[in-house]
Amino acid sequence: MELFWLAIGTIVVGVFGCVAWFWGSNWILDRIYPPRGPNAGDNIRKANQIRPWLFLGPAILFLGVYLVYPIFDSLWRSMHNARGSEFVGLSNYAWHMGDGKFRESMRNNMLWLLVVPALSTLFGLIAAQLTDRLKWGNIGKSLIFMPMAISFVGAGVIWKFIYEYRAPGEPQIGLLNAIVQALGGDPQLWLTLIPWNNFFLMIVLVWIQTGFAMVILSAALRGIPEETIEAAILDGASPWQVFFKIKVPQIMGTIAVVWTTITIVVLKVFDIVFVMTNGQWGTQVLANLMYDWMFRGTPDYGRGSAIAIILMLLVTPIMIWNIVNARREVR
Amino acid sequence: MEGMAGQKSSLVWAVNIAAFLLVLLWTIPTLGLLVSSFRDRDQILTSGWWQSFSAQEATGFVRTGTGDDAVQQDGQYVIEGTVLEEGQSLIGWGIRAREPAAFQPGETTEIEDGWQLTVAEDGSYRLTSDTPFEMRRGERIFVTTGAPARLTTENYNRVLTAEGLGRAFMNTLTVTIPATVIPILIAAFAAYALAWMEFPGRALLTAAVVGLLVVPLQVALIPLLRLHNELGIGKGYLGIWLAHTGFGLPLAIYLLRNYMVGLPREVIESARVDGATEFQIFRKIILPLSFPALASFAIFQFLWVWNDLLVATVFLGNTREQLVMTGVLRELMGSKGGEWEILATSAFISIAVPLIVFFAMQKYLVRGLLAGSVKGG
């Protein structure tokens, strides 16, 4: 109950604080440069130069402290030793390059990067097209979309249950092994099955992200001008041709957006690996490796930061692409 | 024409079936967890959840009474009793562990020295002998029984009290609500400035917000942890609220700005002409009109904070009193890996609230996704 009041108190203080800042700073500004009297015009112009920064102030402060400063601090730390007391140049990076676990993480991240965005987008596209004209399409969409609301940890439990293993011949309680056994195969410990276990982890993320891809692509499909489709049908195009030759090319831009968005999620994937295998059996990924350097055993902030910076470098091309696109839209 | 119509309806069927299979494939994993969370713990471990609604087969053994329990009937010594417990039915029985279903109910077999054993369908057994029984321990009767499927809410009672999930639920709520409300306010003002105020650097700031959308959280962990320690915030609720506010802001500003830019220019211009201050315009015109975008972001942020594990682990700490639900779930996966009744139930409790929010507010979530599909979670 105490917690409850603490939370309510914070909301009140936080909300009140924000409102007080915005309202108060505006009020003060209007006192200093009153929008009336002999200098009204001049005052209004001056006030209007300052006002945007009052509105933006808290946001800039938060973005600066919680996102911009950490990038530079991480960069600085990645070139220092474990405790940050001595400059070591690029030796943390060099050390990682020679480290087996780091190479394994890089390889796995690249594997995730190839598989997850591709499969999610593909399934999303299929789901969007299939459910588009159905009477129960919206219910179907909701159900495919639902995993989006489930935490990665919850999804980890759900899928670990599917991969659950019992000795051959015993009744299997994991769905996958039950199917395998019913078909006459031997049940497997899927999560320790090198190298395939990586794919069993990826399936979890595909399962979560497909709904996202479906929602965006479904909207894009609906945005295609009807005339192009009708013209193709009149010309005798089969449904397949309509889909692949008319619809897909027109939504290529959206597919690219979906693809890159999922790519970002994949690069940062942490929870799924963390709770399902914790990077054992050849499934380590960068984010989990970084967590290891931060918290396991003796923390090494230098090497941990180096991994964070590598992650940052990996997302940078997409960041630039997004900015370029956003600017083009504004124009 | 007929041929075309026939082709068309078969295509419609194919689409329906394919869509149904896809939906089924996507739903089954969650369904399995939900069903399992209501099952009896023994039944979870001995049969798949898809068999929850059929009778559960089990094998075991029962000991007959001893010589002391025997009664004399018609010159024979007889021991009687039952092999079944309440609610069970008899599928088969036997006298050796290896063959627990060697005999059908109602059959009779000879154990030794002329002892005759019969187990009837209702589970009652009858062991007879011409000479007095002299065994100290009862004979073992192996039985294969069927029990009706048992669905229960016991797991929920247990998990909420004994496993600390009730506490974790409160912790999660405490983290989530302020971390959802506060960024909205800060972002709304900033978005308004970016959308409707003229000032130098506006384009640059907007681009910066788009760029910050994809910054991996990992970059911020070590620096912020140290910063919080140096500022004396340490690990706790204040720290995690601030962190979530910072991490959520780019998406909030981006979504709200995009929405506000699309509001009708005339309304704002005419309010300005009428002498309304920027603050009044914001409060009386922009905020109410932007409700859909505010709702979209609120849902995003709520789901993201509620489901987050990493930020909570780093900024809130890992003692039992501080764990949020994802943290508890993660711990249970380590310590109770095989106890699926606990895992399934805990997982379901932790995903229940997001699922409710999801189904209730799906419209806004979709709208937000469509507006902000540059962001990567």
ipTM: 0.86
Percent of all residues in chain A with a pLDDT value above 90, rounded to a whole number: 15
Which pLDDT score is estimated for B1?
Answer: 34
Residue type (1 letter), A139: I
| B294-319 confidence digits (pLDDT tens) | 988 898 899 899 999 888 888 887 77
For residues A2 and B344, the model is more confident at B344
| Tens-place pLDDT, residues A177-208 | 888 888 888 888 888 878 888 899 999 999 99
> Under DSSP, is residue B151 helix (H, G, I), strand (E, B) or coil?
strand
Q: Is B206 on the interface with A (CB under 8 A)?
A: yes
Task: For residues A134 and A263, state if they share a domain.
Answer: yes
- Residue B359, classed as helix, strand or coil, is helix
Question: Where does B197-236 have alpha helices with state H?
Answer: 202-212, 218-231
Helix/strand/coil for A290: helix
Are A216 and B330 a contacting pair at CB < 8 A?
Answer: no
Give the residue ranges of DSSP H helices in chain B.
Answer: 2-37, 41-46, 154-162, 165-196, 202-212, 218-231, 237-261, 265-273, 278-281, 287-289, 291-307, 310-316, 325-335, 340-360, 362-371
Q: Residue B165 — pLDDT band, cuts 50, 70, 90?
A: confident
8 Å CB contact between B341 and B39: yes
CATH code for the part of the protein at B157-371: 1.10.3720.10
Residue A261: list chain B partners with CB under 8 A: 373-377
Residue at A84 is within a domain: no
Cβ distance of B344 and A262 shorter than 8 Å: no
At residue A174, the 3 state secondary structure works out as: coil
Q: Nearest CA to CA, how far is A83 from chain B (Å)?
A: 11
Instruction: Test A3 with B253 for CB contact under 8 angstroms.
Output: no
| A115 and A240 both lie in a single domain | yes
What are the φ/ψ torsions at residue B78 (nearest 5 degrees)?
-130, 135
Cβ <8 Å between B277 and A77: no
Report the Cα B147 to chain-centroid distance in Å. 27
Which segments of chain A have a pLDDT < 50? none
pLDDT of residue B140 exceeding 60, the answer is yes
Q: Residue B377: what pLDDT?
A: 33
Question: How many structural domains are present in chain A?
Answer: 2
Tokens for B137?
């321990």
List the single residue in B with minimal CA-CA distance to A145: B26
A14/A106 same-domain check: no
Instruction: Spell out where B133-279 has E strands.
Output: 140-147
Q: Indicate whether A204 and A309 sit together in one domain.
A: yes
Residue from the list A140, A157, A264 with its beta carbon closest to the beta carbon of B23: A140
Indicate whether A222 and A114 sit together in one domain.
Answer: yes
pLDDT at B7 over 60: no
Same domain, A12 and A125: no
When scoring A157, A200, A259, A295 by the number of chain B Cβ atoms within 10 A, the one with the most, hence best to mutate, is: A157
What confidence score (pLDDT) does residue A209 get? 92
Does residue B4 carry a pLDDT above 50?
no
Looking at residue A118, its pLDDT comes to 93
| Residue A178 forms part of a structural domain | no
Please provide the average confidence, as pLDDT, over all residues in chain B: 82
Higher pLDDT, B58 or A305: A305
Helix (H) or strand (E) holding A297: none
Q: What pTM does this model have?
A: 0.83
Q: In what order do the strands lie in the sheet with B124-129?
A: B71-73, B76-82, B124-129, B116-119, B108-110
Question: 14-73 in B: which are within 8 Å (CB) of A?
Answer: 15-16, 18-20, 22-23, 26-30, 32-33, 36, 44-50
- Tens digits of per-residue pLDDT, B65-85? 777 777 887 778 888 888 777
> If DSSP states are collapsed to H, E and C, what string results for B75-103?
CEEEEEEECCCCCCEEEEEECECCECCCE
**Confidence tier at B56 by pLDDT (50, 70, 90):** low
As a dihedral over the C-alpha atoms of residue B90, residue B95, residue B98, residue B99, rounded to 10 degrees, the angle is -50
Q: Which residue has the higher pLDDT, B46 or B251?
A: B251
Is residue A301 located within the same domain as residue A235? yes
Residues of chain B with pLDDT > 70, as a percent, come to: 94
Other beta carbons within 10 Å of B229: 12
- Smallest CA–CA distance, residue B158 to chain A, in Å, is 18
Indicate yes or no: CB of A154 within 8 angstroms of CB of B351. Answer: yes
Residues of A in Cβ contact (< 8 Å) with B276? none
- Phi-psi group of A271: left, alpha or beta (phi > 0 → left; psi -120 to 50 → alpha; rest → beta): alpha
pLDDT tens, residue by residue, A308-322: 999 899 889 988 988
Question: CB distance A157–B33 less than 8 Å?
Answer: yes
Residue A17 covered by a domain? yes
What's the length of chain B? 377
Where are chain B's structural domains? 56-147, 157-371
Please give the single-letter amino acid code of residue B179: A
B320 part of contact set with chain A, CB < 8 Å: no
A8 is a domain residue = yes
Which pLDDT band, with edges at 50, 70 and 90, does B373 fall under? low
Say if residue A70 is preceded by a cis peptide, omega within 30 of 0.
no
On whether residue A285 sits in a domain, the answer given is yes
Question: Crossing angle for the helix pair B291-307 and B165-196, nearest 10 degrees?
Answer: 140
A27 and A72 inside one domain:
yes
pLDDT at B3 over 50: no
Q: Which domain holds residue A110?
A: 100-152+195-330
The angle subtended at Cα B251 by Cα A115 and Cα B176, nearest 5°, is: 95
Say whether pLDDT at B375 is over 70. Answer: no
